[in-house]
Amino acid sequence: MISVVIPIYNEVALLPRLHRELAAALDGVGEEWEVVYVDDGSSDGSLQAILELQRGDARVVAVELSRNWGHQPALTAGLSTARGHAVVLMDGDFQDPPAVVPQLIAAWRAGAQVVVAARSGRRERGFRRVLMPLFYRVLHFLSDMPLPLDAGIFGLLDRQAVDAVNRLGESNRFLPGLRAWVGFRTATVLYERGGRAEGEPKQSFWRLLRYALDAIFSFSYKPIRLSLLLGGLVAVFALLYGMSLIVCRLLGLGMFGRPVVDGYTSTIVSILFLAGVQLISVGILGEYIGRIYDEVKRRPLFLVQKVHRRAP
């Protein structure tokens, strides 16, 4: 069986068409399926619309969340509810076209356990158009492990990968990152990301910013290491500059043709040197905090693909 998980927040205008197109796409695949709609605390009657769909189609599963939790928590809820051998994650606003879902399933049948739908183009509007590709590039540069460029949550996970992702208990979730982190045989399907079919995006700028920071800080130590690097550079500079000042002072030479003012040497050298020491200390603290962060995330140390044993 194949499950499709879709988070829904105030999408009442889109739901009937979404389900119609999805059902048509899934019926062509020739496999049993269910669609898990996660109502993320909608206030426009989306839940009633989902239940209405369910009355007409027993393959609809509705998860009603207690309030609006956000895109990633809603997807996580759906992921733990889905019962399929393969689970497709997608948005409910047609930016992830239902027609692409059979391609994901085909890649899964061909042996992939994780199928990433990557955007060959996008039709976003406003700040999303500029900032989203930029974000993915910054993340790609910063991240401690390779994350696919221009891939959001749209994709497919087989049961083994779903169970692995469900084991990850961290609360600042960036699913595209977690999906890459669990590994397994991965395939990529390219698709043209459409514009939103109707209405305005339901995630605010601040939500997306927070999401971007979650992504960077859950997958990278580099921001912390920056202060260590900076501290090292300042300290080395202070040392060289200080030594040259001291030498000039002792030999009674001026700096740049002028006599050195009394007290300047000791003041500037101690300021520079202490600044370097402080930055290095912050960096060292950061290294410890980074490790504490890793420990509290409690990600498994490894995931086994398969244990191969020879039959006796």
Report the nearest approach of ligand UDP to the CB of residue 214 (Å): 14
Report the nearest approach of ligand UDP to the CB of residue 23 (Å): 17
- Residues 37, 89 contacting (CB under 8 angstroms): no
Classified as helix, coil or strand, 251 is coil
Q: Is residue 93 a contact point for Mg ion (CB under 5 A)?
A: yes
By DSSP bridging, strand 114-122 and strand 151-158 are: antiparallel
CA 45/CA 86 separation, integer angstroms: 29
Q: Is residue 34 a contact point for ligand UDP (CB under 6 A)?
A: no
Q: Is residue 70 a contact point for ligand UDP (CB under 6 A)?
A: yes
CA 42/CA 27 separation, integer angstroms: 28
Report the nearest approach of ligand UDP to the CB of residue 56 (Å): 21
Which listed range, 65-73, 90-98, 131-139, 288-296, lies at the site for Mg ion (CB under 5 A)?
90-98
* Residue 239 amino acid letter: L
Which listed range, 7-15, 266-274, 276-284, 303-311, lies at the site for ligand UDP (CB under 6 A)?
7-15
CA 84/CA 267 separation, integer angstroms: 69
- Locate all alpha helices (DSSP H) within the chain, ordered by sequence: 15-27, 46-56, 71-81, 101-109, 127-142, 159-167, 175-182, 205-219, 222-250, 264-297
Report the nearest approach of ligand UDP to the CB of residue 40 (Å): 4
Nearer to Mg ion, 121 or 169 (CB): 121
In sequence order, the 6+-apart residues with CB closer than 8 A to the CB of 127 are 205
74 binding partner (options ligand UDP, Mg ion, none; Cβ < 5 to 8 Å by kind): ligand UDP
Q: Is residue 71 a contact point for ligand UDP (CB under 6 A)?
A: yes
Site for ligand UDP, residues 78 to 107, rule: CB under 6 A: 91-93, 95
Q: Is residue 10 a contact point for Mg ion (CB under 5 A)?
A: no
Nearer to Mg ion, 160 or 203 (CB): 203
Return the closest-CA partner of residue 132 out of 235, 188, 203, 218. 203
Site for ligand UDP, residues 170 to 229, rule: CB under 6 A: 196, 201-203
Angle at 114 between CA 108 and CA 117, to 5 degrees: 90
Applying CB under 6 A, which residues contact ligand UDP? 7-9, 11, 40, 68, 70-71, 74, 91-93, 95, 196, 201-203
Applying CB under 5 A, which residues contact Mg ion? 93, 95
